[in-house]
Amino acid sequence: MSTTVVVGAGPLSPEDVVRVAREGAGVRLGGDALAALAESRKVVDALADDPVPHYGISTGFGALATTHIPADRRAQLQRSLIRSHAAGAGPEVEREVVRALMLLRLSTLATGRTGARPETALAYAALLDAGITPVVHEYGSLGCSGDLAPLAHVALALMGEGDVRDASGRLLPAAEALAAAGLAPVQLAEKEGLALVNGTDGMLGMLLLALADLRRLLAVADVAAAMSVEALLGTDAVFAADLQRLRPHPGQAASAANLRALLAGSGIMASHRGPECTRVQDAYSLRCAPQVHGAARDTVDHAASVAERELAAAIDNPVVTVDGRVESNGNFHGAPVGYVLDFLAIAVADVAGMSERRTDRFLDKARSNGLPPFLAAEPGVDSGLMIAQYTAAGIVSELKRLAVPASVDSIPSSAMQEDHVSMGWAAARKLRRAVDGLARVLAVEVLTAARAIDLRAPLAPSPATGAVRDAVRAAGVAGPGPDAHLAPDLETVTTLVRDGGLLAAVPVDLQ
């Protein structure tokens, strides 16, 4: 297990979130967090005895905020809030998403701005540290007031109710899992129900996981493009640094620099350089790769800046301010996160669309500069990689549908009290599917380009692209030859793309 992540009163790093969510890192609360929790709890306890109603402490919730709750019913109020809000439906959400969501909610509790008790935060941390993952469902969040239903399912498990999966993945009742881990169910006090469900933690967690994936996939996109430019006998002159500086977008500069490094020393490229070369302008899918890949990189950087600010946020309603006031607010609205989740889905669809177009060029003998139709060993008898392109095309078509923004939608809820919502959770869910699709489309291009590079023999590829081709072969994907079962090869290359194995094979430093 990875090193334990200490959750303090300050923000977590994106790397901390990935370590806990994906790598199973343990969790504990820092001393500063416990002090902040204890201090703000004093404020809530004082207001609990106040005859003046205070939202979430001595009143109902949402459209029921004007209903005063007597002191002897407030424990029931908190239990009822969690039970009623744990209303998710549909398939289980992935373990890494739930762990990210839990860590981010714990981080907000640790700021001391929610009024939760130290013992409740400690119990939450223990649940996460024990590897117990509450069952959270696909549907139930409108992204305002935060990810209510997903967070409520976690809080339900904290109370010893509902279903969870233990560290081994076994499905069992929460009460059994808590007992097996030596943990006791929590009896929630005033304000704590709200503190556990009012946040953008689900959508933010999925954003951070997607950003980690996309930084890797956009580097893979540059690798795939370099292999395609090379094997299609394209020109690398358009990637020159001085040309790129004429349009000074940082992502474009980085992508072009990667392409130059990846193609350096290529015998294939050298074979058609010189005054006799007629390749003045390549198709856009080759020539404009730095512009598209670079725009996607800049979009990732923008989304990362939003995520960084959200990591520093303390989102709840009401909140305990630094000077001890308890104030209602609208910081739980997911618009900032929802917008960039949708923006990333647009970039993903475009990068994948360009990759599929490069793949298609390899398979058309009229556009492949001398390669056999569909890269088949015996065209007619063999179909080569014809249907691999169909697979990529089908995914790209879906990615275009997934690029339709969720955040432009809104549907009123809670008797029109919550009359404008962000749909940020939905934006995050479709982005996860889009990121998976991009990895698969890039894998098709890499597999196709690797075969085309082999077919250019005896011309030698660059050291970098040759190393990637060799990594594909070492993983068990055969070179040119008669048709064979293709689906396992596509899955093998997809795994190389996803897990970093393909990038690890590249012998040059990429940006």
pLDDT digits (tens, 9 = 90+) for 395-453: 999 999 999 999 999 988 887 878 889 999 999 999 999 999 999 999 999 999 999 99
Q: Mean pLDDT, to the nearest integer, of 157-172? A: 98
Considering the domain boundaries, does residue 329 fall inside one?
A: no
Burial class (CB in 10 A: 0-12, 13-18, 19+), 321: middle
Residue 269 sits in a domain whose CATH number is 1.20.200.10
Residue 278 is predicted with a pLDDT of 67
Specify whether 95 is located in the same domain as 216.
no
State mean pLDDT over 356-361. 98
Q: What is the DSSP secondary-structure string of 183-229?
A: -------TTHHHHHH-S-HHHHHHHHHHHHHHHHHHHHHHHHHHHHH
Q: Are residues 230 and 182 in the same domain?
A: no
- CB–CB of 258/241 below 8 Å? no
Q: Which of 199, 233, 266 is the endpoint of a domain?
A: 199
Same-domain pairing of 192 and 271: no
Q: Is residue 108 part of a domain?
A: yes
User: Distance (Å, rounded) from C-alpha 225 to C-alpha 122?
Assistant: 49
Dig out the tokens for 86 from the structure: 């744990």
Instruction: Judge whether 185 and 212 are in contact, CB under 8 Å.
Output: no
**Helix, strand, or coil (residue 319):** strand
Range of the domain at 180: 5-199
Check whether 378 has a pLDDT greater than 90: yes
Q: Is 250 left (phi over 0), alpha (psi -120 to 50) or beta?
A: alpha
Query: Given this model, what pLDDT does residue 484 score?
Result: 96
* CATH code of residue 54: 1.10.275.10
The answer to whether residue 348 sits within a structural domain is: yes
On whether both 133 and 53 belong to a single domain, the answer is yes
Same domain, 216 and 153: no
Closest CA to 13 of 121, 100, 128: 100
Task: Examine the domain organization and report whether 190 and 230 are in the same domain.
Answer: no
- Examine the domain organization and report whether 212 and 195 are in the same domain: no
Condensed to tens digits (0 to 9), the pLDDT of residues 141-154 reads: 998 878 999 999 99
Q: Residue 28 forms beta bridges with which residues?
A: 6
In a domain, 509, yes or no: no
For position 420, what pLDDT does the model report? 87
**Is residue 141 located within the same domain as residue 246?**
no
Residue 55 pLDDT greater than 50, yes or no: yes
Domain boundary among the residues 179, 199, 219 is at 199
At 48 the pLDDT is 78
- In this structure, the answer to whether residues 351 and 260 fall within a common structural domain is yes
User: Which structure tokens are listed for 346?
Assistant: 């647009």
Q: Does 307 map to a domain?
A: no
Round the average pLDDT of the chain to a whole number and report it. 94
- CA-angle at 289, arms to 284 and 293, nearest 5°: 135
- Strands 319-320, 326-327: pairing kind: antiparallel
Q: What average pLDDT does range 12-39 have in this prediction?
A: 97
Domain count, the chain: 2
Residues 6+ apart with CB under 8 A from 344: 207, 210, 214, 299, 300, 303, 431, 434
Q: How confident is the model at residue 1 (pLDDT cuts 50, 70, 90)?
A: very low
Question: Contact 38/110 with Cβ under 8 angstroms?
Answer: no
Residue 338, in any domain of the structure: no
Among 52-66, 396-410, 468-482, where is mean pLDDT lowest? 52-66
Tokens 């939905």 -> residue: 426
Same domain, 159 and 259: no
How many residues are listed for the chain in this entry? Answer: 511
The model scores a pTM over 0.75: yes
Tell me if the bond preceding 80 is cis, omega within 30° of 0: no
Which of 154, 170, 199 is the C-terminal boundary of a domain?
199
pLDDT band per the 50, 70, 90 thresholds, residue 2? low
Q: What is the pLDDT of residue 483?
A: 97
Residues 6 or more apart in contact with residue 458 via CB below 8 angstroms: none
One domain for residues 113 and 253? no
Determine contact, residues 90/138, Cβ cutoff 8 Å. yes
The residues carrying an active-site annotation are 55
Q: How far apart, in Å, are the Cα atoms of 131 and each of 166, 183, 326?
A: 6, 12, 34
For residues 77 and 141, state if they share a domain: yes
Specify the long-range contacts of residues 67-75, CB closer than 8 Å, at least 24 apart: 74/48, 74/189, 74/190, 75/187, 75/188, 75/189
Give Cα 412 distance to the centre of its chain: 27
CA separation for the pair 462, 464 (Å, rounded): 5
Lowest mean pLDDT segment, chosen from 52-66, 211-225, 274-288, 304-318: 52-66
Question: Which DSSP symbol is given to 166?
Answer: -
Instruction: Give the pLDDT score at 442.
Output: 98
> In sequence order, which ranges of 288-372 are alpha helices (DSSP H)?
289-311, 335-363
CA distances from 334 to 22, 142, 478, 489 (A): 24, 9, 47, 40
Residue 332 is assigned to a structural domain of this protein: no
Residue pair 439/496 in contact by the 8 Å Cβ criterion: no
Q: Is residue 455 part of a domain?
A: yes
Q: What spatial distance separates the first Cα and last Cα of the chain, rounded to whole Å? A: 29
